[in-house]
Amino acid sequence: MDHLKETCLDSRRIYEGKILNLRCDRVLLPGGREATREVVEHPGAVTIVALDSEDNVYLVRQFRYPVGEVTLELPAGKLDCGEEAEACARRELAEEAGLKARSWRHLLNFYTTPGFSTEIMYLFLAQELSREEAEADADEFLEVEKVPLAEAVQMALEGKIRDAKSIVGILAAYLILRSGNKETCNAGR
């Protein structure tokens, strides 16, 4: 596949922010021409499918400024520098949903938008849930709700859940659990 690879000729940092950086790279294309690539650098994130003993999944409602809407999403969050993905998932589940889990299962990893971003998402299934005091970040205003997993699948398919990481998480968890796959799926780990 090296014949498809693009080679970076030079790179220029355009912006450094709290959750992402932006750079502009000049690249050499396989055919010999040059092009420009704008790249959003992101440290990675986690998404958690928190499933209780009655097959309900926990979701959070929050206003998302970039799209100007209140969205319904799985609990999720950005990795801190040097933080392990599962530790981040445990922290985010407590912060956003006020839950902790005794059982953790890594399901898969995926790129959120590989056309312009380095962000990789680590998807976890959390089970054997119990309540914990929620400590949302100061700039997060969330409402937690639980929905039967099968209903969440339908909501995703009907466009009522439009957040990509949540759609991937809900569908992946549903398919893996319904397939009887009891082993941890380490795809992309």
Report yes or no on 189 lying in a domain.
no
Q: What pLDDT score was predicted for residue 161?
A: 98
- Is residue 37 domain-shared with residue 104, that is, in the same domain? no
Entry pTM: 0.90
Q: What pLDDT score was predicted for residue 182?
A: 54
- Could you give the CA distance from residue 130 to residue 115 in angstroms, rounded to a whole number? 39
- Is residue 68 domain-shared with residue 125, that is, in the same domain? yes
Residue 7's DSSP bridge partners are 28
Report yes or no on 72 lying in a domain.
yes
Report yes or no on 183 lying in a domain.
no
Report yes or no on 187 lying in a domain.
no
- Is residue 24 domain-shared with residue 92, that is, in the same domain? no
Q: What pLDDT score was predicted for residue 1?
A: 82
Q: What pLDDT score was predicted for residue 123?
A: 98
Domain limits at 13?
2-41
Report yes or no on 186 lying in a domain.
no
5-52 pLDDT tens trace: 999 999 999 999 999 999 999 999 999 999 999 999 999 999 999 999
Q: The domain spanning residue 157 has which CATH number? A: 3.90.79.10
- Is residue 33 domain-shared with residue 125, that is, in the same domain? no
- Is residue 69 domain-shared with residue 11, that is, in the same domain? no
HEC sequence for 96-159: HHCEEEEEEEEEEEEECCCCCECCEEEEEEEEEEEECCCCCCCCCCCEEEEEEHHHHHHHHHCC
